[in-house]
Amino acid sequence: MELAHKISQTLNFLLVSTRTKRFPDGEFYFKFEEEIAGENLVLVQSLYPPQDEHLLELFLMVHTAKDLGAKSITVFAPYLAYSRQDERYLNGEAISSLMVADVLKELGAGALYTVDIHNEKVLKGYKIPAFNLTASGELAKYFAMKDLRDPVVVAPDDEEAAIARVKNGADAINAGYDYFKKERDRHTGEIVTFEKKMNIKGRDVIIVDDIISTGKTTANAVKALKTQGARRVFVGVTHILPLGKALDLIKESGTDEVVGTDSTPSEVAKVSVAPIFSKALKGNMKVVPRLDKLAGVDADFGKVEEVKREIEKLRGEY
């Protein structure tokens, strides 16, 4: 997997080869191709759609790692599926985010890292250390290379997490920030973005958000910014999970470019979450130059040998 490979390069971790396949009846098969007993392992698996498949793959990886005697298991799930239902709103409902937390712990995961989680409250349900990182800085930096004029970073809604994200993005490129207020009709799903006068005339604007799903939130914000005279409007979103023609809707709203991260595969995944995870891991675990192992369920096997050679060189140096 590209992402696992990038992380292994940044952190100087060995990349473990893995083998995966589907049996004719659709069941998943997983195998570590190398010895992992006694190793500190990082498992990279993003839980984008089909979420159930990716989740079961992750469960199998964690279980196998534990079963084979890995010393520690850190899970990096950039997109953490099942993060919407963190409470029992109606009697009898499943609390799906808690199920994921409990199963990961039971299987042997020792820590979890994710990126721009939809609802940060979910992490309180984890009985292992669980961290939320943000890609907003990396997304803003991507657009900063476009010769921006007096840039402003804007959130399409005024939730606490959305404001924190744009503030972080703005700080990364030394820009200002602002945010809209939005409401979603609970019955029709229709999104209303309230008019708000912003100081953006003739300036370049970067919208930063966590998710694109129907695209309506982003499209509304782009239109409002263009109407108010923004020079260019760029959109940087961590998880692109487009439903139907979401990306077309956003393009038609007048945006100059939409960019996502490699948390989910998409035609606009141009920013990697590898640097932010690598930085977090270094900071929290003080691992450099410890040489640990890293596995991705769909590791890029072609590059494994190349990475191993680099690591061997590094071993010699330390």
Nearer to ligand R5P, 29 or 194 (CB): 194
- Catalytic residue of the set 167, 181, 182, 245: 182
Give CA–CA dist 169/154, Å, rounded: 9
CB 201 within 8 A of CB 229: yes
Q: Note whether 51 binds ligand R5P by CB under 6 A.
A: no
What DSSP designation does 254 have? T
CA-angle at 249, arms to 245 and 252, nearest 5° = 135
Give CA–CA dist 236/178, Å, rounded: 15
Q: Note whether 191 binds ligand R5P by CB under 6 A.
A: yes
CA-angle at 76, arms to 260 and 33, nearest 5° = 115
Nearer to ligand R5P, 162 or 276 (CB): 162
Q: Least CB distance from residue 119 to ligand R5P, whole Å? A: 9
Q: Least CB distance from residue 194 to ligand R5P, whole Å? A: 14
CA-angle at 271, arms to 270 and 272, nearest 5° = 120
Q: Least CB distance from residue 189 to ligand R5P, whole Å? A: 8
Q: Note whether 214 binds ligand R5P by CB under 6 A.
A: yes
Q: Least CB distance from residue 172 to ligand R5P, whole Å? A: 19
Number of residues that bind ligand R5P (CB under 6 A): 14
Q: Least CB distance from residue 107 to ligand R5P, whole Å? A: 29
Instruction: By CB under 6 A, name the one of 216, 226, 232, 293 that touches ligand R5P.
Output: 216
Mark whether 182 is an active-site residue. Answer: yes
CB 281 within 8 A of CB 12: no
**CB-based burial label for 313 (10 Å; 0-12, 13-18, 19+):** exposed
Omega into 50 within 30° of 0, i.e. cis? yes
**CB-based burial label for 105 (10 Å; 0-12, 13-18, 19+):** middle
Q: Note whether 103 binds ligand R5P by CB under 6 A.
A: no
Q: Note whether 213 binds ligand R5P by CB under 6 A.
A: yes
Which residues in the 142-181 window bind ligand R5P by CB under 6 A? Answer: 156-157, 159, 162
The contact pattern for ligand R5P, residues 193-212, with x = CB under 6 A and - = no contact, is ----------------xxxx
Nearer to ligand R5P, 120 or 150 (CB): 120
Give CA–CA dist 256/193, Å, rounded: 20
Q: Note whether 239 binds ligand R5P by CB under 6 A.
A: no
CB 181 within 8 A of CB 194: yes
Nearer to ligand R5P, 170 or 212 (CB): 212
Q: Note whether 119 binds ligand R5P by CB under 6 A.
A: no
Q: Note whether 293 binds ligand R5P by CB under 6 A.
A: no
Q: Note whether 215 binds ligand R5P by CB under 6 A.
A: yes
Give CA–CA dist 313/17, Å, rounded: 19
Give CA–CA dist 59/100, Å, rounded: 9
- Residues that bind ligand R5P in the complex, under the rule CB under 6 A: 156-157, 159, 162, 191, 209-217
Residues assigned a catalytic role: 182
